[in-house]
Amino acid sequence: MNKRYLSIILSCLFFSSLPSIAFASDHETHESSSVSDTAVQIEASIGHFEVEDNDGDDSDGQSINAAGSFAFNLLRAHIQLDSMLRYEDSDGSATNWSIGGHFGLRDETRGHIALNTSFNKLRASDNINAKYYRLGAEAEYFIDRLTIGGAIGTLHVIASDEDETDSGELNYFKALVRYYIRDNLKIEGSFGRVKTEGESGEVDYTHLLAEYGFNDRPITLFTRWNGLFIDDGDGDEIDTHQFLVGFKMNFGGAQHSTIKTNDRRYFADKCLFENVAAIC
């Protein structure tokens, strides 16, 4: 656990972590309401992760994850507030929690543009602590059943263990593609990179997701793979693979809507740094 978190967190100081994006598309005929519109989404999942070190010091473990979002629309103005809690068990334990928000404009027939921000805190059982502060911008564009998107931003990281405290400034970008096979069945993938100015190392992160919803039901099921690939520029490399299965429950305006409608009317990517995979 110690080596794993020191490597990942200090690499995060050197690069790491991420934001949100999304471009979406839809031929739905919903018009922006002249009154307020709200929705709530809660999410729970269990996961298994594997960490591969080019020195042969590999490890694996399990995680339990919970997250929630509140969305508020008024005309085309959009606010989304997010929170996340994660418990992880490997050679030791770690807890990771985040809060964040998105503030922008949304039109479910065209797209979404917003500023986003978040705060994340990690505490591991071997006295490793880290804080992440993020500020970025995201955009979504909707083209029929296709969604394309992107995000950029900056991340400030403060990490400490028993011996020292370090901090760093990081920059990131992310691109995403999402496709709705049916209104209640979607697949998506992303690629992003985190880098520190003037340094040779970098972090690439990616994910693949499939989500299925039931007609007129507030629940959806999903499975997700997150990948994090760290190269410090000096020959040290760490690859992390995380596999998740879980569900989402929708309330308010999102309760009886399809996945496609909820994505485009209410919810952007949470972008709350799932830590091991550094994926929002």
191 pLDDT above the threshold of 80? yes
- Give the pLDDT mean for 17-35: 39
Work out the mean pLDDT of the chain and round it to a whole number. 83
92 pLDDT above the threshold of 90? no
pLDDT given at position 78: 96
97 pLDDT above the threshold of 60? yes
95 pLDDT above the threshold of 50? yes
Least confident of 93-97, 137-141, 187-191, 247-251: 93-97
pLDDT given at position 269: 85
pTM: 0.83
Position with higher pLDDT, 161 vs 183: 183
25 pLDDT above the threshold of 50? no
Residue 261, SS3 per DSSP: helix
15 pLDDT above the threshold of 50? no
Residue 273, SS3 per DSSP: coil
In 3D space, the residue among 104, 129, 131 whose CA is nearest the CA of residue 115 turns out to be: 104
Pairing of strands 237-252, 59-74: unpaired
Q: How many CB atoms lie within 10 A of CB 46?
A: 12
pLDDT given at position 280: 53
Task: Give 196-244 pLDDT, tens digit per residue.
Answer: 766 667 888 888 999 999 988 999 999 999 888 888 777 778 898 989 9
pLDDT given at position 33: 45
pLDDT given at position 93: 86
pLDDT given at position 259: 97
5 pLDDT above the threshold of 60? no
Q: What is the DSSP string of 57-113?
A: --EEEEEEEEEEEEEEEETTEEEEEEEEEEEEESSSEEEEEEEEEEEEEEETTTEEE
Strand partners, 107: 111
16 pLDDT above the threshold of 80? no
18 pLDDT above the threshold of 60? no
Identify residue 33 by its one-letter amino acid code. S
- Give the pLDDT mean for 131-155: 93
pLDDT given at position 273: 53
- Give the pLDDT mean for 145-171: 88
161 pLDDT above the threshold of 50? yes
Q: How many CB atoms lie within 10 A of CB 18?
A: 32
Position with higher pLDDT, 250 vs 22: 250
Q: How many CB atoms lie within 10 A of CB 117?
A: 16
pLDDT given at position 167: 84
